[in-house]
């Protein structure tokens, strides 16, 4: 009986041992089953990230190539825009702009002119004929333009605004001028454009009035006009008036000018 009990004990111990071994290896199978989906998910995420990065690189390279194509299209203006500041820095001199006739104007300036009337110039009294006004270029401002005998000459082509103002005044004295009809006195202002390429003269503007000055001791009238016009190199501008002997010689009352607005 003792041997029988021992044998059962041995059998019981063997069964218990197998159960213990079974429980010992069961967690390993459960862990393997848990980690497998995690590993598959990780690999899937890494694959998606790799695809996304490849697409991003491709898009970046495509945009860069398009940018290079666009930036290299206007090659000449870009070279000029970057070259000029470099040359100015090397030379160490202020930026100047050259016209075709070698004139120089400051960087922030534009071709322009403003001329007052020449105060010491006399016109024949009592003559109603139209004459060209003489301007004082020594007292005026000229930028990339020249003046000669009442005419402004354009050196840089473009679209300009042209203006002029003339004032007439007279102290009436019946004994001074007896052959002038002051009851029908025409005071007209013209602005002319000499076109060099066509060798012709055209009238740009006209204004004026008929004054009746015979019954007043002091009389004054001013005419002013302006407009935009396209001008080429070598074109000329001038101002003509009738009865120039009545012009007001004050520089703030009678003047002539032009300024460039655009190319």
The structural domains of the chain, ordered by start, are 110-262 (2.60.120.40)
Whether the per-residue pLDDT at 28 is higher than 80: the answer is no
Neighbours of 251 (CB within 10 A): 16
Q: In which element (H, E) is residue 237 found?
A: strand 236-241
What's residue 174's pLDDT?
A: 59
Q: What are the structure tokens assigned to 51, written together? A: 């695809």
* pLDDT tens sequence across 74-84: 444 434 434 34
Phi/psi-derived region of residue 113, left when phi > 0, alpha when psi is between -120 and 50, beta in every other case: beta
**What tens digit of pLDDT does each residue of 194-247 get?**
999 999 999 999 999 987 776 667 888 999 999 999 999 999 999 999 999 999
Does position 14 have pLDDT exceeding 70, yes or no?
no
Q: What is the spatial distance between Cα 207 and Cα 224, in angstroms, rounded to a whole number?
A: 7
Q: How confident is the model at residue 36 (pLDDT cuts 50, 70, 90)?
A: confident
Higher pLDDT, 11 or 235: 235
- Distance (Å) of CA 165 to CA 118, 139, 151, 179, 191: 14, 17, 15, 27, 10
> What does pLDDT average to over the chain?
75
In this prediction, residue 17 has a pLDDT band, given cuts at 50, 70 and 90, of very low
- DSSP-derived pairing of the beta strands 131-132 and 236-241: antiparallel
Q: Residue 254: which of 180, 126, 150, 149 has the closest Cα?
A: 150
């Amino acid at each position: 009986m003792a041997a029988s009990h021992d044998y059962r004990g041995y059998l019981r111990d063997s069964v218990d041992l197998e159960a213990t071994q079974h429980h010992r290896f069961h967690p390993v199978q459960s862990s393997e089953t848990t980690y497998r989906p995690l590993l598959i998910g990780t690999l899937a995420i890494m694959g998606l990230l790799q695809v996304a990065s490849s697409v991003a690189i491709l898009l970046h390279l495509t945009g860069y190539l398009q940018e290079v194509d666009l930036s290299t299209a206007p090659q000449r203006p870009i070279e000029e825009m970057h070259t000029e500041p470099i040359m100015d820095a090397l030379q160490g001199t202020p930026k100047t702009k050259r016209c075709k006739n070698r004139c120089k104007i400051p960087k922030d300036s534009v071709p322009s002119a403003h001329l007052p009337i020449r105060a010491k110039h006399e016109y024949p009294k009592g003559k109603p004929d139209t004459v060209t006004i003489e301007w004082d270029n020594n007292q005026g401002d000229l930028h990339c333009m020249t003046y000669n005998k009442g005419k402004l000459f354009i050196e840089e082509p473009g679209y300009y605004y042209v203006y002029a103002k003339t004032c007439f005044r007279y102290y009436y004295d019946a004994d001074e001028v007896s052959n002038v009809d002051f009851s029908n006195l025409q005071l007209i202002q013209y602005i002319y454009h000499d076109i060099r390429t066509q060798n012709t003269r055209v009238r740009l503007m006209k204004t004026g009035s008929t004054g009746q000055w015979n019954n007043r001791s002091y009389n004054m009238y001013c005419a002013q006009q302006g407009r935009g016009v396209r001008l080429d190199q070598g074109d000329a501008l001038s101002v003509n008036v009738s009865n120039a002997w009545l012009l007001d010689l004050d520089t703030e009352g009678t003047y002539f000018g032009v300024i460039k607005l655009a190319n």
